[in-house]
Amino acid sequence: MNERINDVDSKSRVLPVPDALVGRRFDVALSKMMGLSRAKASDLIDSGHAALIDRPYSKSTVLLDGDAMEVRLESPSHHVEPVASEMSIAYEDDDIVVVDKPVGVAAHASVGWTGPTVLGSLMARGVHITSYGAPGRHGIVSRLDVGTSGLMLVCKSELAYKEMRRQFAQHEVVKTYHALVQGNLEQDRATIEAPIGRAKVSDFRFTVTPMGKEAITHWDVLERFSEATLVSVNLETGRTHQIRVHFSSIKHPLVGDHMYGANPKMAEELGLDRQWLHAMRLEFRHPRTHVWTRVDSQYPTDLEHALDAIRARHSQQ
């Protein structure tokens, strides 16, 4: 199917492809955006109910920066946000909740996003969230990209919102990520200090630029393979796409991160359809008790599978 939806009697919606889904297959991206199974997304594409605008496509077409989908909606006047039922809660008390966010779940609702969100899924479960914060983003003091999994903190009380916002702004929260980067890093540990700003070629991409904002990334090697390196990353600052941009800038993009120069063949061989990046640990002072608190996560299935696959490849060399 390579035609744009043209049934004048149908109701359709144009959805810009989010930056986190650039480089994914059309059916994979559609399933994540709409909260559907991949099979259902494929059916929508094959039946003409979902199309790419202004270029030929199939369900396996790799999405490009600037692409937009046109999707026919059965009930366009009332969109019910899907709930991320697989999203687990890693820590919760009267003041805060820390979720283990799956890939394909946005932090909050935004224009063009019709998939599940952390905020919407928590509220659908009956979790009380403070009204403090920007409209539609209340309770959120930091967030993860749609394409990044792992721990994310949301505030339930006014006290928590004010205090945790301060801690994040003052860089007092320790955020530890694990990332699998292409190539063999020369050093066992290092710091990347390079300002980050929007790339001129796209509103969705970021780059190292003298005109950007200060960005500092610390990393330590956890495990080495001949073609990739597993690292633990701590962010001193929290710029959009910071880890992805910084490792790409030193010629070691994250495995699976097509937007920032990763080898798509390697990702395919590892069964990976997103960047290998997971928010592994959060450490902070509890907003009410001031007790130093640590919350940990584990690798999700897709990242664990890719890591096992590259370990197996390395052992055979």
Q: Catalytic residues, which ones?
A: 145
Q: pLDDT category, 252, cuts 50, 70, 90?
A: very high
Average pLDDT over residues 153-182: 96
Give residue-wise pLDDT tens across range 126-140: 999 998 988 788 999
Average pLDDT over residues 153-169: 96
**pLDDT value at residue 238:** 86
Answer yes or no: is pLDDT of 61 > 70. Answer: yes
Q: Do the Cβ atoms of 108 and 154 come closer than 8 Å?
A: no
Predicted TM-score (pTM) of the model is 0.75
Q: pLDDT category, 6, cuts 50, 70, 90?
A: very low
Q: pLDDT category, 32, cuts 50, 70, 90?
A: confident
**pLDDT value at residue 128:** 92
Helical (H) or strand (E) element with 34: helix 26-34
Q: Of the spans 15-19, 65-69, 97-101, which averages the highest pLDDT?
A: 97-101
- Of the candidates 256, 276, 316, 261, the one whose C-alpha atom is nearest the C-alpha of residue 25 is 256
Amino acid at 312: A
Answer yes or no: is pLDDT of 281 > 80. Answer: yes
What is each CA distance from 309 to 28, 221, 269, 298, in whole angstroms?
A: 21, 19, 9, 17
Average pLDDT over residues 37-61: 86
Q: Do the Cβ atoms of 144 and 101 come closer than 8 Å?
A: yes
Average pLDDT over residues 51-68: 89
Average pLDDT over residues 160-180: 96
Domains identified in the chain and CATH numbers: 12-72 (3.10.290.10), 81-170 (3.30.2350.10), 171-317 (3.30.2350.10)
**pLDDT value at residue 282:** 97
Q: Of the spans 39-48, 184-193, 307-316, which averages the highest pLDDT?
A: 184-193
CA gap 214, 238 in Å, rounded: 9
The percentage of residues in the chain with a pLDDT greater than 70, rounded to a whole number, is 92
Answer yes or no: is pLDDT of 204 > 70. Answer: yes
**pLDDT value at residue 175:** 95
**pLDDT value at residue 67:** 86
CA gap 92, 96 in Å, rounded: 6
